[in-house]
Amino acid sequence: MLYELHVISDGRMAPGALAELAAAVQPMVDYIHLREKSMPARELLAAVELILGAGVPPAKLVINDRIDVALAAGAGGIQLAWHSLPPVAARSIAPGLRLGCSVHSAEEAAQAGRQGADFCLYGHVFPTDCKPGLAARGLEQLAEAVRRSSVPLIALGGITPGNAGAVLAQGADGIAVMSGICGAKDPAAAARAYREAIHRASGQADVPGPAQALGKGGDQA
């Protein structure tokens, strides 16, 4: 199986630094999520343009919540949060975008598929500084979410190269990483370590490029 690797921005970088990071890691990852909650639409669009100008393929870009920015920039996907439009409404506005839903339970994972999402991000699996004070859901709940989901499920939250194999063994279709890459001293080396970890979980002999380049992940807008 070819697993996906998603990297999620942490909202702490200036646009120029974010573009540099995206360009450095994009050869190793399938999708780059821009989760920049504090950026207004105009600034977010400018940041996306910097990233595209740095050589990141638009099909790899997933914009958090802002369908308008995703469409204006020609991004490949949109990540819907709990406060975003439901998938059916988002699909009517942007039929060509790959739609992801953020979910936090097995029931929400099941609903995401029924409502028309293409994939869901489930977390957080392990304790993480990104979610201080919130209990991790653990591998058992992850496995239940995978069983209930009718669409690919990407796990996130406290995932490291060392525990990625255990996560993927529960049936997840890939992993998503925020601080493990964005907070690393060498983001490209960190992304490579994650790619190698999920590659080992796939049982293949050589380390390939991103899974989407090998035909996984559906049609890209």
Q: State the pLDDT confidence band at 6, using cuts at 50, 70 and 90.
A: very high
Secondary structure of residue 81 in the 3-state scheme: coil
Alpha-carbon torsion angle 12, 14, 16, 17, nearest 10: -40
CA distance 13 to 182: 9
Helix or strand run (H / E) with residue 32: strand 31-34
Encoding tokens for residue 73?
Answer: 């920039």
Which positions are annotated as active-site residues?
A: 124
What's the CATH superfamily of 4-206? Aldolase class I (3.20.20.70)
Residues in the chain: 221
Residues 153-188 have pLDDT tens digits of: 999 999 999 999 999 999 999 999 999 999 999 999
pTM over 0.85: yes
Q: Determine whether 81 is exposed, middle or buried from the number of CB atoms within 10 Å of its CB (0-12, 13-18, 19+).
A: middle
Q: In this predicted model, what pLDDT tens digit does every residue of 106-154 receive, in sequence order?
A: 999 999 999 999 999 999 999 877 766 677 889 999 999 999 999 999 9
Whole-angstrom distance, CA of residue 86 vs CA of residue 71? 17
